[in-house]
Amino acid sequence: MNSKEVKDYSPIVWALERFFYYLQWCSISSVFKIREHVQAGTVDKEVTKRRSRQIEYYIFGWFVAEILALPTIGTSNWLDKLILFCAVYRLLDILQVTMNVNLFGRLRIDVEPESVAFLARTVVLSVWNFIEAMILFGLVYRANIHLLNNAKTICDALYFSVVTQLTIGYGDLTPTSYLRAIIAAQGVLGFLVGIFAVSRVIAFLPKPQSVIGD
């Protein structure tokens, strides 16, 4: 089945598939034609190695930028706006990668299934994206810390991001105004990224053998 056939069966799924298909071209990675998945049988190992390294350099570059942004956010109004723009951009990037790689990518394959470099790597990158989302939302909360009751520092913002994404919610820090909508967005994105990360981990686990064969 391909995306055109999907439209005949489910216009809703087709519309979402098209949305995330075009959203991926807004990613910086698309400029360098960096893709997580490659067509089985059409790309040799050397090409796969090169693309895999490019992807990881891209991801690590974002991670370094986020760590450097932690102590600087909240010090300058224009810098806060730049960091917020980059954080939202990266969150959308993580969302589109999660949906395209795990869900919609297979709808665009006409002949052969997609392949990955190796399965352990997909597990690590999925968990990495989940953790990275916590940092990015922490930057958003730090830039709007005046709307987060009882919070004062970047550590408070990161703590609130972690307990929110993990759905712990102690209630010691409480959001106000539009920050509540951002928290709802983190809940949705965290659920989507998290559920696919968990599914990757489960799929990678060795299948237990039953003595009685059930």
Q: Given this model, what pLDDT does residue 115 score?
A: 60
Quickly list H helices, the chain: 3-9, 11-23, 45-69, 77-99, 119-143, 154-165, 179-204
Q: How far apart are CA 192 and CA 194, in angstroms?
A: 5
How confident is the model over 120-177, as pLDDT tens digits? 888 888 889 999 999 999 999 999 999 999 988 999 999 999 999 998 888 889 999 9
Instruction: Tell me the β-bridge partners of 75.
Output: none
- Say if residues 95 and 193 touch (Cβ distance below 8 Å): yes
Query: 145: which 2 tokens?
Result: 């810390």
pLDDT band at 102 (very low <50, low <70, confident <90, very high): confident
Cβ contacts of 202-211, under 8 Å, gap ≥ 24: 203/119, 204/119, 204/120, 204/122, 204/123
Q: Given this model, what pLDDT does residue 75 score?
A: 79
Nearest one of 26, 30, 35 to 55, comparing CA atoms: 35
How confident is the model over 16-59, as pLDDT tens digits? 888 988 888 888 877 655 544 444 455 567 777 888 888 889 99
- Say if residues 197 and 177 touch (Cβ distance below 8 Å): no
Tell me which CATH code domain 3-204 carries. 1.10.287.70
Query: 103: which 2 tokens?
Result: 């869900």
CA atoms within 13 A of residue 80's CA, in its CB half-sphere: 13
The residue extents of the domains of the chain are 3-204
Q: How far apart are CA 132 and CA 58, in angstroms?
A: 13
- Say if residues 100 and 10 touch (Cβ distance below 8 Å): no
Helical (H) or strand (E) element with 114: strand 114-115
